[in-house]
Amino acid sequence: MFSPLAAKRVRFAARTYTRKSEPASVPSLFFEHPMSAMRSMLVIDRSETIAKLFAEIFEKRGWDVDTCCDRDSAIERVAGSKPYDSVLLSYRVPGTNGVELVELIRALEHRRMTAVVMVTSNGEATEQALAAGADEVLLKPVNPNALIFAVGKHVW
């Protein structure tokens, strides 16, 4: 069913992210039940390349992902009516910053329960982002498995 390399990755991921109180098994965020609802995400990053890379990581896992790369399109998407289970954003966004976007997301009634994960290379922004309402802040460079885990623990 899996190639030997894929099986090795799954074993590594299960070992790395399994809580002590849970049996050593493959976490559900790596293999969703086929009948589970499709998750949706908005990725906001100044770099279109990075936004597409993050989108691809989650699209391969069955997510519906939208991307945007500037303040105006981010505000338009966040204020819109499309439901997002998660927002993944960078600290640096042209025209604004991630902390201001987190504050906006938390100020909107229909986004208060949306998981918000920020990715930044600025360690000083971590406390600001968490105070603004981010659920988690990851420092660059980000391991894709750590990113999946961070988003997953706030969505599932």
Q: Is the pLDDT of residue 140 over 70?
A: yes
- DSSP secondary structure, 38-74, as one string: PPEEEEE-S-HHHHHHHHHHHHTTT-EEEEE-SHHHH
Residue 14 has pLDDT above 70, yes or no: no
| Residue 31 pLDDT grade (very low, low, confident, very high; cuts 50, 70, 90) | very low
Reply yes or no on whether the pLDDT at 7 is more than 50.
no
- What's the pLDDT score for residue 156? 73
State which H helix or E strand residue 102 sits in.
helix 98-107
| Cα 154 from Cα 39, distance rounded (Å) | 12
pTM recorded for the entire structure? 0.76
Query: Rounded CA gap, 153 and 135, in Å?
Result: 10
29 has a pLDDT exceeding 90: no
Write out pLDDT tens, residues 50-90.
Answer: 999 999 999 999 999 999 999 999 999 999 999 999 999 99
